[in-house]
Amino acid sequence: MSEKIEKSSTTSSSFEEKGQNDRIEVTNVSFVKSDAEKRLVRKLNTRLLPLAGLIIFLQFVDKAALSVAAVLGIIQDTKMTMDQYSWLGALFYLGYFVWQLPNTYLLQKFPIGKYLGTLLIIWGAITIATAFGKNFAQLAVLRVLLGVFEAGTYPALIMIFNTLYRRSEQSACFGFLYLSNGLGSCVGSAAAVGIAKMGTRNGITAWQWGYVIWGTITVVIGIITVIFLIDSPESWVLQLTEEEKEITKLRTQDNAVVRKQKVKVSQYWEALREPRLWLLFITSLSHNLQNGGLVTYSTVLVHGLGFDAYESILLQIPSGAFTVIYIAIAVYINRRSKQIIYTALICYTVSALGCLLLAVLPNTGVKLVGYYFTWAQTGSYVMLISIIGSTVSGYSKKIFYNGANMLAYTIGNFAGPLMLVDSTKPSYTPTMWGLFGANLLNMACLLLVRLILARINKKRAAERTDEPTDVYLNLTDKADKNYVYNL
């Protein structure tokens, strides 16, 4: 076998093939990638990541189209109030919320690629239909439905990455996904200016054209996803050699994820009893108050600083660029330091500074500095997803943790736009103070998570034996005494 395993004096390893199950047992080993594994990772990166990134790109553009439409006439054309506009931003996440529990079940029962592709096709059709909403009531229903069918995207892709990549590789993969959000902001904003210049054609206004164009593209990508998205090591798209199949078995041991269709309710109950779950839940909810408010009101906030409609759209391009930069820096720091939680804290510090500047600076163009600082929170969220991916094992438990995170995501994003009250515009100062406090709360919760996991690691280091762990037993991180938490 070409896989190289480097041992230290404190480690041991074994590899056993047990009949038809091809079970693998490896304990406390430090992997050095062979040339064959490097080729395998390149194959994964080139055949999976571009499509995954495109899916996230489209999700962001379709979701954020409302922010662009706000300065292109949707509020006037549909005779909405600003408070109703806030509700449109929030109702998307009501749909997200409703679908989280069904999504947790369906992810385990159906092929992820086909399931996700179907969701894309449906949400693309809903995006097109949104262009023809005539009033608040119609748009509200469409926003809820859009939230329902976009809700499975991140959990599906996260589970795919958890399955196919080593734990040490996952933060970079999650970073790539969220980089696609930043690119969505950059490219979507640039495209929005071009679409705005179209004006009204064939009875369709500029804001309507945005929904029609992006919705059509989403339907096409949905069809491609059904056919080509890699969702397991056995995917025909990978076309693994026999050598690569053997390497994949060892990689499966490292990431501690073996796909199981049988739901283990006991793993759900174990997760619910862990303080770590609730601390991460609070962090995600608090984090996404800011995300929901800023995504929905991004163009409106900049417009309120004295810029016209076109300038407000164009100034979203730097926010997308800063998102890319913050995520790239966070991934780099984490890869160099191997400190996921401390990396998240650095990003939250910058984000908190941005909220503070938005709260105290006069309502002029100088506030853009604070606005761009707030997007440092995207680097923190990449680390938050990585914390779940690298500190939870057991297939049902990992899905449950991811589902809980998405539930918090939906609640936070639902409440976020509602925090920006019309009577406090254009500065929304009380909201900015609230978001500043939310960043501090996030930092406190993550420090507690690190303290809990560090204590467990210390205890296990003192008690560890040479008894190997069989990954196919689908043990949770609590049951597997060889499991070491990445901090």
The domains of the chain are located at 51-229+263-459
62 SS3 class: helix
CA proximity to 204, closest of 142, 99, 131, 299? 131
Rounded CA separation 352/371 (Å): 11
Rounded CA separation 121/308 (Å): 35
Q: Does an H or E element contain 86, and which?
A: helix 82-109
Which class for 428: exposed (0-12), middle (13-18), buried (19 or more C-beta within 10 A)?
A: buried
**What does the pLDDT read at residue 13?**
33
Burial profile 317-353: b = 16 or more Cβ within 10 angstroms, e = fewer: bbbbbbbbbbbbbbbebbeeeebbbbbbbbbbbbbbb
Rounded CA Rg of the chain: 23
Query: What interhelical angle do 429-463 and 377-391 show, nearest 10?
Result: 30
Rounded CA separation 141/12 (Å): 57
CA proximity to 67, closest of 51, 86, 46, 81? 86
CATH 3.40.640.10 assigned to 51-229+263-459? no
Q: Does an H or E element contain 87, and which?
A: helix 82-109
**What does the pLDDT read at residue 23?**
41
Q: What is the pLDDT along the chain (487 residues), one digit of tens a residue?
A: 333 333 333 333 333 333 334 443 434 444 567 888 888 889 999 999 999 999 999 988 887 788 888 888 899 999 998 889 889 988 988 898 888 888 878 888 889 999 999 999 999 999 999 999 999 999 999 999 999 999 899 889 988 988 888 877 887 888 888 888 888 888 888 888 888 888 888 889 999 999 999 999 999 999 999 999 998 888 888 888 888 888 887 777 666 555 555 667 888 899 899 999 999 999 999 999 998 888 878 888 888 888 887 788 888 888 888 988 999 999 899 989 989 999 999 999 999 999 999 999 988 778 899 999 999 999 999 899 888 878 888 888 888 888 888 889 889 988 888 888 878 888 889 999 999 999 999 999 999 999 999 998 888 887 776 666 555 556 787 877 777 888 8
Rounded CA separation 403/397 (Å): 10
Dihedrals phi, psi of 308, to nearest 5 degrees: -80, 180
Four-point Cα dihedral 40, 44, 45, 47, nearest 10: 130
Amino acid, single-letter form, for residue 162 = N
